Chains A and B, each alone.
Chain A
Amino acid sequence: MRPGFDEMHDGAGAVREHYGGYDRWLQEQPPQTMQRRREEAEVIFRRVGITFAVYGGKDDPGRNGGTERLIPFDLIPRVIPAHEWRELERGLRQRVTALNRFLHDVYHGQEILKAGVVPAEQVLGNAQYRPEMQGIDVAGSVYSHIAGIDIVRAANADGSGSYYVLEDNLRVPSGVSYMLENRKMMMRLFPELFSRHRVAPVAHYPDLLLETLRSVAPASVSDPSVVVLTPGMHNSAYFEHAFLAQQMGIELVEGQDLFVRDDFVYMRTTQGPKRVDVVYRRIDDDFLDPLAFRADSTLGCAGLLAAYRAGNVTLANAIGTGVADDKSIYPFVPKMIEFYLGERPILHNVPTWVCRDADDLEHVLANLGELVVKEVHGAGGYGMLVGPAATAAEIEAFRAALKADPKRYIAQPTLALSTCPTFVESGIAPRHIDLRPFVLSGKTVQMVPGALTRVALQEGSLVVNSSQGGGTKDTWVLED
C-alpha cells in the first residue's frame, strides 16, 4: 500500500504551509461552534432550496413533493496554493483548447485520423460520434463551450502528490452552482476567515459564462438572445439550471417553450414568439430534437437540429462532443495536445489500459484485484469495479463481463486519491476528494480561480459522486 497524500498535513503530520492560517483559526474554534455552524448551513441550504433530485429515490414521495436531497456540505475548505493553481490553469487551458481542435477536426478534415494518431474506427465507430455534424461549421469553431475537467491528486512513492486528469466532461458538465453556493455559504458562516486569507473570488463565473455564450452567437446577430434549456424541475440538476439562468438574467426554457419555424428557433412568450440565438442546453444530445434523435423525447424541440445546421442558432455545448470525452478516447488526449498545439502536455493522464487491445486486456484480467475498471460509456460512478474494495464474487462477475465484451471497458491503477480533513460522525477525519474546475471557451478561453471539490464521505471510499453519497467542500485558490 502506497502512502496517502493529505492536502492539509504532510507525511510527518505537520500542517502544510498553505493550510497554516486555516489550521490556527480552526484550533481557536470551540467544537460546539462548528457543530452549530454545520446545522446552520443545512438550514440555509434547505431554505434556499439548494437541493438535487435523486433518480429512483423513494423517501415518501407524496408528502415531500418529490425526492429532494441536500448534497452534504463540509465546512473545512480545500485549499490550493497560488503556484499550483497557475500550473493547473495552464494545463487546463491547453487541454481544452486541444480537445476543441480535435472535435473540429473530427467533424471536418479528420487530419488526426489520417495521421494515424487516433485510430479512425475508434472515433467513427463510436456511439458518441454524430454523423449529422460532419462538415457543419459551428460559430468560432468551438464545440465544448463549458468543460468540466475532473482532476485528482495521487500520492507518489516518495510521499509527494501529483495532479492527474481523471476524466474530461465535454457534454453537459454540472456542479458549478455548488462551487458558487459553497463559497457564499462559507463567507456567510465564517466572514472572519476571509479577512484572514487572500481567497481568489469566483462569483463572476456567471458573467464569464454569459460573455462566452454571447460571443458564439450566429455571426449575423448583433444582440443575441441567450436561453438556458432545462429538462425541467424534476431533473437532478434543476437547481443549477435555474440558478445560472437567474444569475445571467436570461430565460430558463423547457422544450415545450420552444418551436422552430423556417429553420429559426423561437420561444413562446406572453407577447408572442421571440427569436432565440444561443441555447445553453442542459439536455443530452439524444433528447434535443425528436425529429433527429430519440423520437420519444418530449424534452427537446422538433426541428432544432435543422435550425442548428442552417447556422441560425448556436447550441452550447455543440452536438457530438461526447466523441472527445469518451473513456476510450481519453488515453489519446496527450497525443492530441502534441498533434494540434505542438506542445508537451502540462497535465498528466492516469495510465490507462484499453481493454479492446488484447495485450491490455490480458494485463487487466491478470490484475483485476488492484485495478479500477470502468465502463467506457459509464458516468456518475455507476458500472465500475474498484478492485481493492471489491469482493471475490464482484471481481469474477466483472471478469466474465470483460471477457464477453472487452471493448466496453478500460482499466486504471487504483490511485491513492488525496485526502482532506472532513467533519464526520466521530469528529474530523481524512476523506478522499477530487476537483472539478470549469473551463469556458468562446472567443477566448476563460476560467475563474476555483472549482468544485467533491468528497467521499464514507471512510476509505473513492466514489465522490453526489448520487452515491458524496459531499462537497468550498475550494480556495489562494492569491500570492
Chain B
Amino acid sequence: MLSRTADHLFWMARYMERAENTARMLDVNYQMSLLPQSEQAAERGWRGLLGINEISGDFAKRHTRLTAQSVIDYMVDDASNGSSIRSCLMAARENARAVRGTLTTEVWETQNQTWLEFQRMVGDGAFQNSPGESFEWVKFRSHLSRGVTVGTMLQDEAFHFLRIGSFLERADNTARLLDVKFHSVEHDAFAGAPGSRNGSQSQSQSQGQGQGQGEGEGEGEGDNPHPAGKDIEFDFYHWSAVLRSVSAFEVYRKVYRNVIRPERVAELLILRPDMPRSLAACMHELVANLKRVANEQSKETLRLAGRLDADLQYGRIDEILATGLHAYLTQFLERVNALGAGISRDFLVPMDS
C-alpha cells in the first residue's frame, strides 16, 4: 500500500480517537459541574482539562476568564485549537477523504456524516443547549467509526494502520489523563518528586491529549480506611470520575469488588491487559498490528514496541509506584512518542528511491 495512504489512515484513526477523548474529558467535567462544589474546585477541574492537553497557555491568550462556557467553547468549536472536537473531526474526515477509495463505503460515509452532522449541531447550538447529550454523541460516533472499521474492512495493511493509529493515540491519552489526575491530588505516594511535572512531552505531528478531571455521581461506599487521611468523599468522586472518563467505573467494580483506591485505579488503567483503554491493552494491540505490517526497516521500532509491551505485561503496580508514578508516566509518554516517530519513519514517510 502507498506510504501516503498509510499515513492518512494512521492519522484518520488518531484524530477520531482524540475527538472521542476530548469529548470524554469534557463530559466528565460537565457532569461534575452539576454537583455542588466550590468555585475554586470547579475552576480547578476546567484548568486540569486544559493541562492535560498542555494548552493552558494558548487558552489564556484567547480568553480572559476561565469558565465552563469558555472552556467548552474552546474545546468544542475553536478551529484555532488543534485539540478541539472541531479540529479533530475535520482532520479525521479530511484524512479519510484523501484515501476514501481505500476505505469501505461505510467507513467513509460514517466519517463524512460525522463531520456534516457536527457542523449542523454546532449551528443549532447543541453543545451549549445539551452538552451532555452532545458529548455522548461524539463518543458514539467514535464507537461507530471503530465498529464499522472492524466490521467492514478487509484485514489488510489498511486496517492495521488504522488500528495502530487508534491504539497509539489511546495509550498516549490514557497516560496523560493518569498523570494529570494523580498529580492533582498531590499524593505523596504517587507524585514521586512532588511538583516535578513540567508537562512538556513533545510530539512530532500531533498534540495528544487525555481525558477528564472531575467527579461523577454514583453511590458512595466509604467504610474503608484510606491513605493520607483525605476526605473519603473527595476521593470517591475524584477517582470514580477518572474511571468514568475511560468507561472503567463498572469495570473497576467487577474486577476488584472493592472500594475505589488510587493504586488500584492506577493498576487497572496501566497494567490490566483486559481493560480496553489500559496502557497494557493498547501496547499489546499495537505490537500485534505492527507485526502484521513489518517491513525490512521496521525491526528497531518493533523491538521498542515489544519491549514496552513486555514491561507492561510483567510490571507490578507497587514497583511503578515506588519509582514514582509521574516519572513512570513521563517516561512512558516519551517511549510512545518515540514509537510514533519510528512508525512514521519506517512506513509513512516516503522511502528513499
Tell which of B100, B113, B295, B348 touches A271, judged by Cβ atoms closer than 8 Å. B295
- The residues of B that contact A133 with a CB separation of less than 8 Å are none
Whether the pair A270, B157 counts as a contact (CB closer than 8 A) is yes
Most buried by A among B5, B105, B293: B5
- The residues of A that contact B353 with a CB separation of less than 8 Å are 259, 261, 266, 268, 273
Q: Does B60 contact A (CB under 8 A)?
A: no
Tell which of A49, A242, A245, A254 touches B112, judged by Cβ atoms closer than 8 Å. A49
Whether the pair A272, B295 counts as a contact (CB closer than 8 A) is yes
- The residues of A that contact B79 with a CB separation of less than 8 Å are 62-63
Tell which of B2, B113, B115, B347 touches A257, judged by Cβ atoms closer than 8 Å. B2
Contacts A49-B112, A63-B79, A259-B353 given: A269-B1 contact, CB under 8 Å?
yes
The chain B residue sitting closest to A252, CB to CB, is: B101
Tell which of B94, B101, B351 touches A273, judged by Cβ atoms closer than 8 Å. B351
Whether the pair A270, B3 counts as a contact (CB closer than 8 A) is yes
Query: Given the complex of chains A and B, what is the CA–CA distance between A310 and B306 in angstroms?
Result: 46
Query: Given the complex of chains A and B, what is the CA–CA distance between A199 and B19 in angstroms?
Result: 46
- The residues of B that contact A428 with a CB separation of less than 8 Å are none
Q: Does B335 contact A (CB under 8 A)?
A: no
- The residues of B that contact A65 with a CB separation of less than 8 Å are 90, 93-94, 115
Q: How far is the CB of B123 from chain A (nearest CB, A)?
A: 10
- The residues of A that contact B115 with a CB separation of less than 8 Å are 65
Tell which of B108, B116, B293 touches A270, judged by Cβ atoms closer than 8 Å. B293
What is the size category of the interface that chain A forms with chain B? 20 to 34
- The residues of B that contact A271 with a CB separation of less than 8 Å are 1, 295
**Additional A-B contact list (13), CB under 8 Å, known A242-B100, A254-B4, A269-B3:** A46-B116, A47-B112, A49-B108, A63-B79, A65-B90, A246-B100, A252-B101, A257-B4, A268-B350, A270-B2, A270-B6, A273-B351, A273-B353
Tell which of A47, A49, A62, A253 touches B2, judged by Cβ atoms closer than 8 Å. A253
Query: Given the complex of chains A and B, what is the CA–CA distance between A48 and B105 in angstroms?
Result: 8
Report A251-280 residues with CB < 8 Å from chain B CB.
Answer: 251-254, 256-257, 259, 261, 266-273
Query: Given the complex of chains A and B, what is the CA–CA distance between A271 and B93 in angstroms?
Result: 26
19 pairs of residues in contact across A and B, judged by CB atoms under 8 Å: A46-B116, A47-B113, A47-B116, A48-B109, A49-B97, A49-B109, A233-B94, A233-B97, A246-B102, A251-B1, A251-B2, A254-B4, A257-B4, A268-B2, A268-B351, A268-B353, A270-B6, A270-B161, A273-B351
Q: Does A22 contact B (CB under 8 A)?
A: no
Tell which of B2, B90, B102 touches A269, judged by Cβ atoms closer than 8 Å. B2
Query: Given the complex of chains A and B, what is the CA–CA distance between A449 and B238 in angstroms?
Result: 67
The chain A residue sitting closest to B3, CB to CB, is: A268
Q: Does B193 contact A (CB under 8 A)?
A: no
Whether the pair A243, B2 counts as a contact (CB closer than 8 A) is no
Q: Does B98 contact A (CB under 8 A)?
A: yes
Contacts A65-B90, A253-B2 given: A246-B351 contact, CB under 8 Å?
no
Whether the pair B100, A270 counts as a contact (CB closer than 8 A) is no
Q: Does A64 contact B (CB under 8 A)?
A: yes
Report A310-349 residues with CB < 8 Å from chain B CB.
Answer: none
Q: How far is the CB of A407 from chain B (nearest CB, A)?
A: 42
Query: Given the complex of chains A and B, what is the CA–CA distance between A254 and B2 in angstroms?
Result: 10
Most buried by B among A49, A254, A270: A270
Whether the pair B296, A272 counts as a contact (CB closer than 8 A) is yes
A265-307 interface bits toward B, Cβ cutoff 8 Å, 1 = contact, 0 = none: 0111111110000000000000000000000000000000000
Whether the pair A270, B101 counts as a contact (CB closer than 8 A) is no
- The residues of B that contact A272 with a CB separation of less than 8 Å are 295-296, 351
Contacts A47-B109, A272-B296 given: A242-B6 contact, CB under 8 Å?
no
The chain A residue sitting closest to B122, CB to CB, is: A63
Q: Does B67 contact A (CB under 8 A)?
A: no
Whether the pair A270, B295 counts as a contact (CB closer than 8 A) is yes
Whether the pair B347, A270 counts as a contact (CB closer than 8 A) is yes
Contacts A47-B112, A269-B2, A270-B1 given: A256-B101 contact, CB under 8 Å?
no
Q: How far is the CB of A258 from chain B (nearest CB, A)?
A: 10
The chain A residue sitting closest to B4, CB to CB, is: A257
- The residues of B that contact A268 with a CB separation of less than 8 Å are 2-4, 350-351, 353
Q: How far is the CB of A256 from chain B (nearest CB, A)?
A: 7
Query: Given the complex of chains A and B, what is the CA–CA distance between A96 and B281 in angstroms?
Result: 60
Query: Given the complex of chains A and B, what is the CA–CA distance between A420 and B350 in angstroms?
Result: 51
Query: Given the complex of chains A and B, what is the CA–CA distance between A242 and B100 in angstroms?
Result: 7
- The residues of B that contact A253 with a CB separation of less than 8 Å are 2
Report B289-305 residues with CB < 8 Å from chain A CB.
Answer: 293, 295-296
Contacts A49-B108, A268-B350, A270-B295 given: A257-B3 contact, CB under 8 Å?
yes
The chain B residue sitting closest to A246, CB to CB, is: B101
Q: Does B258 contact A (CB under 8 A)?
A: no
Whether the pair B101, A242 counts as a contact (CB closer than 8 A) is yes
The chain B residue sitting closest to A242, CB to CB, is: B101
Q: Does B152 contact A (CB under 8 A)?
A: no
Q: How far is the CB of A213 from chain B (nearest CB, A)?
A: 16
B157-191 interface bits toward A, Cβ cutoff 8 Å, 1 = contact, 0 = none: 10001000000000000000000000000000000
Query: Given the complex of chains A and B, what is the CA–CA distance between A62 and B98 in angstroms?
Result: 18
Tell which of B94, B101, B119 touches A243, judged by Cβ atoms closer than 8 Å. B101
- The residues of A that contact B348 with a CB separation of less than 8 Å are 270
- The residues of A that contact B116 with a CB separation of less than 8 Å are 46-47
- The residues of A that contact B113 with a CB separation of less than 8 Å are 47
Report A191-233 residues with CB < 8 Å from chain B CB.
Answer: 232-233
The chain A residue sitting closest to B108, CB to CB, is: A49
Q: How far is the CB of B156 from chain A (nearest CB, A)?
A: 11
Please give me the 9 A-B residue pairs with the lowest Cβ-Cβ distance, nearest first: A246-B101, A268-B350, A242-B101, A259-B353, A245-B101, A270-B347, A49-B112, A268-B3, A270-B6
The chain A residue sitting closest to B109, CB to CB, is: A47
The chain A residue sitting closest to B101, CB to CB, is: A246
- The residues of A that contact B295 with a CB separation of less than 8 Å are 270-272
Query: Given the complex of chains A and B, what is the CA–CA distance between A62 and B79 in angstroms?
Result: 8
Query: Given the complex of chains A and B, what is the CA–CA distance between A269 and B90 in angstroms?
Result: 26
Report A44-86 residues with CB < 8 Å from chain B CB.
Answer: 46-49, 62-65
B111-130 interface bits toward A, Cβ cutoff 8 Å, 1 = contact, 0 = none: 01101100100000000000
Q: How far is the CB of A262 from chain B (nearest CB, A)?
A: 10
Query: Given the complex of chains A and B, what is the CA–CA distance between A242 and B103 in angstroms?
Result: 11
Query: Given the complex of chains A and B, what is the CA–CA distance between A259 and B348 in angstroms?
Result: 16
Contacts A233-B97, A242-B101, A251-B2 given: A64-B119 contact, CB under 8 Å?
yes
Tell which of B5, B90, B98, B119 touches A233, judged by Cβ atoms closer than 8 Å. B98
- The residues of A that contact B296 with a CB separation of less than 8 Å are 272
Q: How far is the CB of A66 from chain B (nearest CB, A)?
A: 9
Most buried by A among B2, B4, B94, B112: B2
- The residues of B that contact A269 with a CB separation of less than 8 Å are 1-3
Whether the pair B350, A257 counts as a contact (CB closer than 8 A) is yes
Q: How far is the CB of B3 from chain A (nearest CB, A)?
A: 5
Q: How far is the CB of A249 from chain B (nearest CB, A)?
A: 9
Query: Given the complex of chains A and B, what is the CA–CA distance between A442 and B347 in angstroms?
Result: 36
Query: Given the complex of chains A and B, what is the CA–CA distance between A452 and B91 in angstroms?
Result: 33
Query: Given the complex of chains A and B, what is the CA–CA distance between A258 and B1 in angstroms?
Result: 13
Most buried by A among B99, B161, B296: B99
The chain A residue sitting closest to B296, CB to CB, is: A272
Whether the pair A256, B112 counts as a contact (CB closer than 8 A) is no
- The residues of A that contact B100 with a CB separation of less than 8 Å are 49, 242, 246
Report A20-46 residues with CB < 8 Å from chain B CB.
Answer: 46
The chain B residue sitting closest to A249, CB to CB, is: B101
Q: How far is the CB of A245 from chain B (nearest CB, A)?
A: 5
The chain A residue sitting closest to B117, CB to CB, is: A47
- The residues of A that contact B112 with a CB separation of less than 8 Å are 46-49
Report B13-46 residues with CB < 8 Å from chain A CB.
Answer: none
